[in-house]
Amino acid sequence: MNKPKRYTVTTALPYTNGPIHIGHLAGVYVPADIYVRYLRLTGNDVAFIGGSDEHGVPITIKAKNEGVSPQDIVDKYHAIIKKSFEDFGISYDNYSRTSAPIHHETASEFFKTLNEKGEFIEETTEQLFDEQANQFLADRFVTGTCPKCGNEEAYGDQCEKCGTSLNATDLINPKSALTGNVPTLKETKHWFLPLDRYEDFLKEWILVGHKKDWKPNVYGQVKSWIDDGLRPRAVTRDLDWGIPVPAEGGEGKVLYVWFDAPIGYISSTKEWAAREGKDWEAYWKDNDTKLVHFIGKDNIVFHCIIFPAMLKAEGSYILPDNVPANEFLNLEGNKLSTSKNWAVWLPEYLKEFPGQQDVLRYVLTANAPETKDNDFTWKDFQARNNNELVAIFGNFINRVVVLTNKYYEGVVPEPSEFEQVDEDTLATVKAYPDVIASSIERYRFREALNELMNLARLGNKYLADAEPWKVIKEDEERTKTIMYVALQIASALATLSEPFLPFTSEKLKSMLNVTSIGVETSWNDVSTNEVLLPAGHQIGKAELLFSKIEDETIQAQLDKLEASKKANEAANKAVEPQKDTITFEDFTKLDIRVGTILEAEKMPKAKKLLVLKVDTGIDVRTIVSGIAESFTPEEVVGKRVTVLVNLAPRALRGVESQGMILMTESADGKLVFVNPDDATVANGLQIS
């Protein structure tokens, strides 16, 4: 493609059944935002398009489980997700949602066009049906045994254990997720997109046409799908949540969520264009437009095979120029998981690290899963913040601004004669816009960020070598030149950091006072302008750009994850099998009473034991209890408890224990008292 006239950049539509976490940010949204901010800074016409994916079965199941409507679920999470994107500076031109009327209309029209052109196959097949719920069961509505690996909890669209993509009718011993009933088979009609008809087109377009410029992970996955042979794929579902099928016989059916979701990019563009008074069609139908989809690797098949086949079938749309999908980000060595709460949630991060969005953007980019799965660790997060952002970038800027204020009351000094090192340094700075741009344009954002940091390193080293704080004592003119050069580097950093660290860039620009008086520089100015910050320009006072993150802060995050891990282990713990049957007589031998703990102290030299004085209603007695790892003595005084009072006394570390307090365990492994549900139950009452 020649230089494009305009860009349409889309990001995978997040699914609105939960908030988003660092994996989403690292894989899709931060790289897309870097790309778009760079394009804007270099004067390009860009539409940055996103939105929420609000249809599909998991949302209806979540709604059912929570006793609310699907609309309630999507309203809640759409708002949370949209806010997270705003908070982290993801600079969408439009963020829409697939429940919006404009999307229903656009997707519906798209289907009708394909249907009228004869691009679908209509077929009546037998599908699983739940008689009691009076509903067909597809996708997540049905579970059963995976025919491939024997996993008993496979879903109707996929086995999560072995990753096999399934049809609901493939499952052995299928069970309805709605009622638990065994489903019956019932005939139903569906519309299929015959992907096999597009094999030659896809081979030519991707396998030949994009062999060199698409990422190997994306190219490889597409190739293996095509090599396996493509089959017709149903684009409709028997469901009542979604976009009704606009065709005869479509009653009670909706478009498959994966058919309607990518059309969401088009409807979101329409929404934006209408608001901004632009022509949306130029962004989707003009060959001079470059279309780029940012997605995670789980969406490759939809964006490289199914959606392009849909666009091709429609006939008037352009195809993506690139689909730079990322691999997955793991967290502390384990797969990110919503259901296991193994994640760093964005709203939570912001609460715990207020104002530090750029630190997360930085770490996720420096460690982005561009070519393989990567691991986010809190130690690495801390090290990158402290050793890179604070020690290099922040330190350089702070020195420049503090010294300029100290020596020249914040006015950029007039330089005298440049030495060779000054000339070389300024020439190197001028090369950075192209160096960074070349990495960004090839979707190598880690590399690009590293080059930005090399510019900060250059500044840091220049200042450390030139030592203006020493030179000022003997050569004031030389000091002015040094500070002038350092200020030019600081200004270049303010501009070139914007795609990566937008909040920091903003702060730095305001510190250098380049926003207010119209001396703000564009990306290319850094290469072409002789001067970025002219002599005589007044800058502002120093403000810390980054601050050191202490060990305790990191430990608190690790503790939180450890608690999640324990809770998961507890949830997965097998329930003990039932013990041998006892007679009623056996039971009546146990004398169990309600009591109250009156006093408690630690047993000397015993980690687990507390010595308690318990009012059993019969008497006040000493009981030694193994609860010291879960409770401090102060915490248990006054607690209502259940006591087995006729247990034979026994000596523990020389203290005679006269009974036993009944305990159980919480999900995170902490002991829990078993006590009466009503505070008025008197001590001494029997439990029977």
Q: Binding residues for Zn ion, per CB under 5 A?
A: 146, 148-149, 151, 159, 161-162
Q: Which is nearer to Zn ion, 228 or 409 (CB)?
A: 228
| Between 150 and 638, CB nearer to Zn ion | 150
DSSP letter at 198?
G
Counting Cβ atoms within 10 Å, is residue 64 exposed (0-12), middle (13-18) or buried (19+)?
Answer: middle
Q: How far is the CB of 128 from Zn ion (least distance, A)?
A: 18
Q: How far is the CB of 156 from Zn ion (least distance, A)?
A: 13
**Nearest distance from residue 159's CB to Zn ion, in Å?**
3
Q: Return the residue matching tokens 């396998």.
A: 207
Nearer to Zn ion, 163 or 209 (CB): 163
Task: Copy the structure tokens of residue 247.
Answer: 């065709």
Judged by CB, which is closer to Zn ion: 165, or 680? 165
The nearer residue to Zn ion, 42 or 158, going by C-beta atoms, is: 158
The CB-of-151 to Zn ion minimum distance in angstroms stands at: 4
CB nearer to Zn ion: pick between 134 and 339: 339
Least separation in angstroms between CB 139 and Zn ion: 16
**Are 8 and 291 spatial neighbours (Cβ–Cβ below 8 Å)?**
yes
CA separation (Å) from 349 to 256, 386, 555, 568?
A: 34, 18, 14, 21
DSSP code per residue over 588-632 = HT--EEEEEEEEEEEPTT-SS-EEEEEE-SS-EEEEEES-TTT--
Are 70 and 535 in contact by the 8 Å Cβ rule? The answer is no
DSSP lists the bridge partners of residue 664 as: 672
249: helix, strand or coil: coil
Nearest to 235 by CA among 293, 305, 299, 306: 306
Q: Name the amino acid, one letter, at 157.
A: D
Decide whether 83 or 148 has the Cβ nearer to Zn ion.
148
The Cα-based distances of 675 to 523, 594, 608, 618, 672 in angstroms read 68, 8, 21, 17, 9
Q: Give the residue with the Cβ less far from Zn ion, 171 or 178.
A: 171
- Least distance in angstroms from the C-beta of 164 to Zn ion: 5
Query: Residues near 544 by Cβ (< 8 Å), separated by ≥ 6?
Result: 394, 398
Q: Which is nearer to Zn ion, 142 or 496 (CB)?
A: 142
Determine the Cα–Cα distance for residues 246 and 235; give it in Å rounded to an integer.
12
The kind and range of the H/E element at 49 are strand 46-52
Q: How far is the CB of 157 from Zn ion (least distance, A)?
A: 12
Measured from the CB atom, the residue of 152 and 414 that comes closer to Zn ion is 152
Question: Backbone phi, then psi, for 677, in 5-degree steps?
Answer: -80, 0
Q: Which is nearer to Zn ion, 228 or 279 (CB)?
A: 228
Q: How far is the CB of 160 from Zn ion (least distance, A)?
A: 8
Report, in Å, the least distance between residue 333 CB and Zn ion.
24
Question: What's the CA gap between 359 and 554, in Å, rounded?
Answer: 14
Q: Exposed e or buried b for every residue in 185-199, given b needs 16+ CB within 10 A? A: eeebbbbbbebeebe
Backbone CA torsion sign across 558, 560, 566, 572: negative
- Number of alpha carbons in the 13 Å side-chain half-sphere of residue 128: 28
- Residue 216 backbone class (left: φ over 0; alpha: ψ -120 to 50; beta: rest): alpha
Nearer to Zn ion by Cβ, of 163 and 220: the residue is: 163
What is the spatial distance between Cα 28 and Cα 81, in angstroms, rounded to a whole number?
Answer: 14
Shortest distance, position 136 Cβ to Zn ion, whole Å: 23
Q: Is 89 left (phi over 0), alpha (psi -120 to 50) or beta?
A: left
159 vs 489, which CB is nearer to Zn ion? 159
